[in-house]
Amino acid sequence: MIVLYIIVPLSAAFLTVIFGKWLPTLGKYLLNAALLFLTGLTLYLIIAGPEALIYRVGGFADVADVPIAIFLVIDGFTKILLLIVSLVGLLVAFYSVSYTKQYTGEEKFYALFSLMLAGMYGVIIAGDIFNLYVFLEIASIASYALVSFGIEKHQLEATFKYQVLGGVSSLIILTGIGFLYWGTGTLNLADIATQLPDHNIYNLFVSVLLIGGFGLKAAMFPFHSWLPDAHSSAPSPISAMLSGVLIKAVGIYVIIRLFFNVFALNYQIAVAITVLGTMSMIIGVLLAVGQWDFKRLLAYHSISQMGYVVLGVGIGMLLLTTGKDEKIAALAISGGLFHLINHSLFKGLLFLNAGSVEYRTGTRDLRKMGGLAKKMPVTAGSSFVASMSISGIPPFNGFFSKVIIIIAAVQAGFYWLALFAVLVSVITLASFTKVLKYGFSGKIHSQHEKIKEVPFSMSFSMTLLAVLCLVTSLLILPGVRQVFLTPAVDVLIETVQYSGTVVGL
């Protein structure tokens, strides 16, 4: 079953390219069918599947106790990311059915979309760091092309910046991988964990390289400069995928996996990750609050909201490295992963809202909008839900994940971090109050008198994402949390469990 996550989207991309000239609509149907199947498969694995699945591509036996096969691994932590990619990807792909009619060469859009998905799936399930890098490049190169898909001047400029910094991050990551192989003689993540020497300057040096490289992919502060242009310039379905999914799959996920399950827990690294998360949270929201470009405002909020995820995980790492209460560490990590899921939903929805507004009005400037709720009730209603979710207003999902992170910070004695998290949430609310006021309230502009709601596929995706922003609040309940979050938290808390599960060491 594991290889289906690679085979299905790659096959969709291949068939779309081969037959797209004769069947221009084939790509959209293949992509939606593929993601519907993979979403169902992921839900099955979470609810009824085994705790872990390991597949050796080629089935090679170990040589001198070195695992030489390409390992594909699914565990509790992996399943969360697979669900995010599949579910958000499905709704964005369905939204695109109507949205992409404005472009020529639709088949190329869906082929690139399928390749980006294959790359993200590959990064998530890769059990060795070199193939993780290969899939990372597949996802990145496809995303470079998708950002500039409309071939407008600002899109080409944005993708150029994105490619340059993406290339720099890839070089840093590959250098780190080279040092890892030099020091351990293996590329298998689980085997690296057993071969790495205990805390020393070599480990610290490689850790800094990998944090820098993957931090650039995740757009963490201070590596965030490419994100506002890329996310705001891309077609809105791609903005939703970049912000809601890509920066998690190829950035945050890898950082968490490496520094919990591969490298031995290190206090200095834990402090660095927590500081980066806190700074991302603060700087991102301060840069966002003054924006009038709807999508650019959302892009800066991506930096801020991912700061909450990194903060929660960083607090958990700090507590584990100092030998303090493991229950509080588990609570902090749980809050971070909960917010990871929530962010994919409400930020994906917000970018689809921005895309719908631009689709009908032709502008992203909030000052040129106003009164759109009367003409676009579905877009306005779902935007309200997403705005309340990202601002942490109950009963929406963002409230519960933020509260868990704040409670964990208070219980751990990090009162300043808890205060920063509260203040950032207040500023976020102010920012989205501006969006709702200038975008959807008040008197409608004369040039927008004749606009109407977006087509069904776009409205349906936004409505379902809005419903999920409420439904995922149920993850606060112990029974639901036990199914979705606890297995992931256990994988991270039991840091050596990953190696034992994968290679039996």
Residues forming beta bridges with residue 85, ordered by sequence position = none
Report residue 66's pLDDT band, with 50, 70 and 90 as the boundaries. low
Tell me phi and psi for residue 448, to 5 degrees: -105, 10
How many Cβ atoms from other residues are within 10 Å of residue 480's Cβ? 15
- The pLDDT value recorded for residue 65 is 61
Tell me phi and psi for residue 62, to 5 degrees: -65, 145
Provide the domain limits for residue 499: 4-503
Dihedral sign (CA 490, 495, 501, 502) = positive
Residues forming beta bridges with residue 244, ordered by sequence position = none
Look-up: residue for tokens 């020393």? Answer: 200
Contact 245, 344 (CB under 8 A): yes
How many domains does the structure of the chain reveal? 1
Q: What is the mean pLDDT of the chain?
A: 87
- List of residues 6+ apart from 22 with CB closer than 8 A: none
Specify the 3-state DSSP secondary structure of 55. strand
pLDDT, one tens digit per residue, over 102-156 is: 777 788 888 999 999 999 999 999 888 889 999 999 999 999 888 888 777 878 8
Determine if the peptide bond prior to 222 is cis (ω within 30°). yes
pTM for this entry: 0.92
Give me Rg for the CA atoms of the chain: 22
pLDDT, one tens digit per residue, over 361-387 is: 888 888 888 788 888 889 889 999 999
- Please name the amino acid found at residue 125: I
With 0-12 CB in 10 A as exposed, 13-18 as middle and 19+ as buried, what is 51? middle
Residue 223: closest CA among 154, 307, 153, 149: 307
Asked whether residue 504 carries a pLDDT value surpassing 90, the answer given is no
Specify the 3-state DSSP secondary structure of 290. coil
